[in-house]
Chain A
Amino acid sequence: QQPVQSPQAVILREGEDAVINCSSSKALYSVHWYRQKHGEAPVFLMILLKGGEQKGHEKISASFNEKKQQSSLYLTASQLSYSGTYFCGTATNDMRFGAGTRLTVKP
């Protein structure tokens, strides 16, 4: 079962913040976040392995609410380089990716 991401797309001005949500109808063992730039392969950002865990990567951080079967990705003070499509991946017995959230950061 594919996780559900929201929003589908978001446009920001440089310096603005954004939140991308990921939810699953199944119990989650871990949540993975990837970013894909146009014409390139997805690149790993971070994994959250247990409920309540939060992680950060530069000004990008994420949280994992195991009970609610949800994860959120927080982009703070966005930069032009943050543009791309963000995927969450949920691991139960295998890996399933959400449909992606297209993030565009404008000057």
Chain B
Amino acid sequence: DAGVIQSPRHEVTEMGQEVTLRCKPISGHNSLFWYRQTMMRGLELLIYFNNNVPIDDSGMPEDRFSAKMPNASFSTLKIQPSEPRDSAVYFCASSPLSGGSYNEQFFGPGTRLTVL
């Protein structure tokens, strides 16, 4: 398996622009997580999906952030409009969920976002 795929790997944009990050989870995994990592705040859970349904988006910082999972093999995280403080590495991770307990999470390589 190719593992979790994220695109783009690097994104540089200007303040106010829309940014869309993409994730393809491992086939057969039914949980998907979006994380943001910064030096100051560490690894923060933004939102997670079980079977394509958003379960908890309490970590989404503001209304400028939105996430979708239209099918089992694709998810997007959108920031609109972007701000310099959104600069971070964004990770997507997928996991097989069984018996209501979370198993190993497989992380994608991340997208390094820089907002100027």
Binding site for B on A (CB under 8 A): 29-30, 32, 34, 40-44, 47, 49, 87, 89, 91, 93-100
Contact = CB atoms under 8 A, between A and B. Distances in A.
Contacts of A96: 45
B42 A99 contact: yes
What is the interface of chain A mostly: helix, strand, loop, or mixed?
strand
B102 A95 contact: yes
Interface residues of B, number: 19
A30 B105 contact: no
17 contacts: A30-B101, A32-B102, A40-B109, A41-B91, A41-B107, A41-B108, A42-B43, A42-B91, A42-B105, A44-B106, A47-B103, A87-B43, A91-B101, A91-B102, A94-B55, A96-B45, A97-B35
B6 to A, nearest CB: 9
B101 A95 contact: no
A34 B104 CA distance: 9
B116 to A, nearest CB: 21
B48 A41 contact: no
